[in-house]
């Protein structure tokens, strides 16, 4: 981890990965995730990861 922003991107990646791979419709739907605990702590809105409005790399290195 390079810094706090890098850590946040990796956590986003972990939370969004089941959605990306078609295992859940949204981050809140994946039963094995820490996402709901993060929502309870106020780190994310409950509807984060629902839809195509997410930008970012989510912990992945850009190609090239």
Mean pLDDT over each residue of the chain, to the nearest integer: 85
What single string gives the DSSP state of each residue in the chain? --SHHHHHHHHHHHHHHHHHTTS-SSGGG-TT-SHHHHHHTTSS-TTTTSSS---S-TTPPPP-
What is the arithmetic mean of pLDDT over 56-62? 55
What is the arithmetic mean of pLDDT over 34-56? 83
């Amino acid at each position: 981890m390079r810094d706090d922003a890098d850590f946040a991107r990796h956590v986003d990646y972990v939370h969004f990965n089941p959605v990306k791979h078609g295992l859940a419709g949204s981050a809140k739907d994946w039963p094995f995730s820490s996402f709901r605990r993060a929502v309870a702590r106020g780190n994310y809105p409950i509807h984060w990861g629902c839809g195509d409005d997410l930008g970012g790399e989510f912990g992945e290195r850009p190609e090239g």
